[in-house]
Amino acid sequence: MARNPRRDLLAGLTVAIVALPLALGFGVSSGLGAEAGLATAVVAGALAALFGGSNLQVSGPTGAMTVVLVPIVAEYGPGGVLTVGLLAGLMLIALALLRAGRYMRYIPAPVVEGFTLGIACVIGLQQIPNALGVAKPDGDRVLMVTWRAVEAFVRAPNWTAVALAAGVAAVMLAGARWRPTVPFSIVAVIVATVVARVFHLDAAAPIGDLPSGLPAPSLGFLDLSALGSLLAPAVAVAALAALESLLSATVADGMTVGQKHDPDKELFGQGVANLAAPLFGGVPATAAIARTAVNVRTGAGSRLAALTHAAVLAVIVFAAAPLVSKIPLAALAGVLLATAIRMVEVSSLRAMARATRSDGLVLVLTAVATLALDLVYAVIIGLVVAGALALRAVAQQARMDQVDFRPDLPGEHSDEEHALLAEHIVAYRIDGPLFFAGAHRFLLELSEVADVRVVILRMSRITTIDATGALVLKDAVEKLNRRSIAVMTSGIRPGQRQVLASVGALDLLRLEGREYATTPEAIAGARDHLQGAGVLPVVPAQSPAPVTEEAAR
């Protein structure tokens, strides 16, 4: 994409206008106040743009992060949140140095969709107290807090707050359909603020006083004795920042041509941003998918747009704090309610639910866990369930079929000889993975083999084998040997030898002299074994037939 500074400046201004009410709203929702949201948007937004791995990413306070922060504020207070942000920044930098960014791409789409749906529900429920114009009830469980807020509203209704919140949300949702490029969020907030001031709507509580500028950087919040108890919340914040930032960067790449982010550099940038934001009283930050999308759609092509967004917000902090302080909390609640609704893509959810039952189950479980537990547990549950279902599907694809070894017999043989060999030899071909999820099924099948003297295992089509699979194979060979049934193998791949050797399976086969490169050689070995045992008559050696690629498998 060609550089166009003028277009980047315009994109940055547009994103700043969109980001202002969101930064204020998420700051209020986090429990640290609107000034914390603004500080995060300015400091983290600038540093993540400078040091991050995406040219188009816009960072700041987000709804997903707010969901994680609310219980941390309730338990540890504002100082605890700032310390958590500092620790999370260090963890993100460590992840970047360990080059862990590449592994985020393995998170399944149903987990991401369920995660997003759950976050949207939590963000919406978090706004209920301000939207109803009641004081936020105590508690860190969003469902309980919402229920108590509704009870308080029923006892003393505040229809002014409801009207402002509903009006702002309606303008944003309708405007997004009518003119997607117009920042209706700021328009709706300005109108709501003017109406509240002109008509002296005392029931519409404003944000309150804001400092005219950023505070001096300080580590005064740091309590070294509390670091141990804050490690777990910091891991949750770092994991969420990494997940959301890399997801946002991937979305940005998909919306453009020629842009590609560096995942490890992006983690480093987010680490630096989260290391600095708490020093200025800011909450932990991450990349914002909605603001990044606005940045791309308005023509941004370089980091200048994200830097402009941070600079414009800084000017607002210094020059317009008295005006911003007059914005009604109900209006900000309306902005976040509309944001939560727009996060839910019904068509995407429907497609995911219809794909497979497993995908639908993972999506629902992740969304419910996000709402009932917290985001980190939700992602862990989603990944565990998705992994278990994927392993089950892969294990079901693995097969062990009895095959006719007649085409692979070396030399010429009469029908009687074929029949005699078939009475004593059985051949199996294993297809697919031989690993812990399904290996024991093969052990049961092999253990049931009866009335034969030799089993040939054709192993060239095994796609992967782990220690469990190798142990199961070893156990099967030992059990068959105890029943005086010899086991021959053919086609073991070089990459599988180390695993088989580590558990002693390869040594067992070599000790018995029963490991062969090709199936015809294994059949010849089986015939020699039967002749040595007196089961087959000794016949003159015959010239082996040419070994084809298929016969070697």
DSSP calls for 66-129: HHHHHHHHHHHHHHHHHHHHHHHHHHHHHHHHTT-GGGGGGS-HHHHHHHHHHHHHHHHHHTHH
What CA–CA distance (Å, rounded) separates 111 from 388?
A: 13
Q: Which of 54, 19, 56, 57 is nearest to 40 (CA)?
A: 19
Tokens of 167: 């009006």
What CA–CA distance (Å, rounded) separates 440 from 458?
A: 18
Q: Which of 280, 267, 295 is nearest to 103 (CA)?
A: 267
The DSSP 8-state label assigned to residue 488 in this structure reads: E
Q: What is the pLDDT of residue 103?
A: 78
The sign of the CA dihedral 328, 196, 168, 38 is negative
CA distances from 205 to 186, 192, 316, 457 (A): 18, 12, 21, 77
The amino acid occupying position 273 is A
The DSSP 8-state label assigned to residue 205 in this structure reads: -
Q: What is the pLDDT of residue 1?
A: 47
What residues contact 190, with CB distance under 8 A and at least 6 apart? none
Q: CA angle, corner 387, sides to 384 and 391, nearest 5?
A: 140
How many distinct helices (H) and strands (E) make up the chain? 23, 8
Q: What is the pLDDT of residue 417?
A: 63
Q: What is the pLDDT of residue 48?
A: 95
The amino acid occupying position 78 is P
CA distances from 331 to 40, 70, 128, 324, 453 (A): 21, 20, 12, 12, 82
What CA–CA distance (Å, rounded) separates 264 from 93?
A: 9
Q: What is the pLDDT of residue 418?
A: 66
> 0.85 cut: is pTM over it?
no
What CA–CA distance (Å, rounded) separates 241 from 126?
A: 20
Q: What is the pLDDT of residue 355?
A: 75
What CA–CA distance (Å, rounded) separates 100 from 229?
A: 25
Q: What is the pLDDT of residue 437?
A: 63
φ, ψ at 434 (rounded to 5°): -120, 90
pLDDT by residue for the chain (553 residues), tens only, comes to 456 788 888 888 878 877 888 888 888 888 888 889 999 999 999 999 999 999 989 999 987 788 788 888 888 899 999 999 999 999 999 999 999 887 776 778 788 788 778 878 887 888 898 889 888 887 667 788 889 999 999 999 989 989 999 998 999 889 878 887 777 888 888 899 899 888 878 767 887 777 777 888 999 888 888 888 999 889 989 988 998 888 788 777 877 767 788 999 999 999 999 999 999 999 999 998 778 877 887 778 889 999 999 999 999 888 888 888 888 888 888 888 887 888 787 887 888 777 778 888 888 898 888 888 766 678 788 888 888 887 777 777 777 777 777 776 766 655 666 676 777 888 888 888 877 666 677 767 777 777 788 888 888 888 888 888 888 888 888 888 888 888 888 888 888 888 888 888 888 777 667 888 888 888 888 888 888 777 666 554 444 455 555 544 5
- Looking up tokens 């453009």 gives 256
**Alpha-carbon radius of gyration of the chain:** 32
Q: What is the pLDDT of residue 266?
A: 94
The sign of the CA dihedral 123, 125, 130, 135 is negative
